[in-house]
């Protein structure tokens, strides 16, 4: 895992941005987001799919048109949909949309979720879902 094998476009790309984390593989990322490895390679101009560097920003292509920077989170023991919503200042709808959750029962310790990174705006379709319009910390 040496060097950056993917080059994100300089302009805001169409799609969501995923930041590669320790242990990630292209096949795992593709599976998580419901895309093919070939699509990830093509969209990100990856020359060596086996050299995926931690911190690389990958464009995740998709018809949902989710835009923004996201990271993954492993659900800690004892967390619920409600506690995660509070912790990350997301609406329940936003967390459900970003993770394609059908039921809160899908959350279990160790499950991987995606959440917005820092103050990055995340848009689904044309509707901003992060940051919240009326955050409770203002």
pLDDT at 55: 92
Structure tokens at 45: 């101009």
Structure tokens at 125: 């379709």
Give the helix ranges, DSSP H, for the chain: 26-33, 37-43, 81-87, 92-99
| Out of 47-61, 70-84, 110-124, least confident range | 110-124
> Per-residue pLDDT averaged across 104-115, rounded?
82
pLDDT tops 60 at residue 24: yes
pLDDT at 137: 42
| pTM of the shown model | 0.51
Q: What are phi and psi of 41, to 5 degrees?
A: -60, -45
DSSP 8-state code for residue 125: T
75 contacts 109 by C-beta, under 8 angstroms: yes
Structure tokens at 95: 């967390």
Structure tokens at 114: 């995606």
65: confidence class by pLDDT, cuts 50, 70, 90: very low
CA distances from 94 to 2, 8, 16, 78, 90 (A): 34, 25, 14, 21, 6
Domains, the chain, with CATH or none: 16-61 (3.10.350.10), 67-121 (3.10.350.10)
pLDDT tops 80 at residue 50: yes
Task: Name which residue leads in pLDDT, 88 or 44.
Answer: 44
Whole-angstrom Cα distance, residue 131 to residue 40? 27
3-state secondary structure of 72: strand
């Amino acid at each position: 895992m040496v060097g950056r094998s993917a080059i994100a476009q300089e302009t805001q790309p169409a799609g969501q941005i995923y930041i590669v984390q320790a242990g990630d593989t292209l096949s795992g990322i593709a599976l998580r987001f419901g895309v093919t490895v070939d699509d990830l390679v093509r969209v990100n101009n990856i020359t060596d799919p086996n050299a995926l560097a931690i911190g690389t920003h990958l464009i995740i292509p998709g018809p949902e048109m989710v835009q923004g920077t996201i990271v993954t989170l492993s659900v800690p023991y004892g967390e619920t949909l409600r506690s995660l919503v509070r912790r990350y200042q997301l609406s329940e709808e936003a967390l459900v949309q970003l993770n394609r959750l059908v039921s809160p029962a899908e959350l279990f310790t160790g499950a991987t979720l995606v959440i917005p990174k820092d103050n990055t705006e995340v848009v689904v379709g044309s509707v901003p879902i992060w940051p919240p319009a009326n955050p409770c910390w203002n």
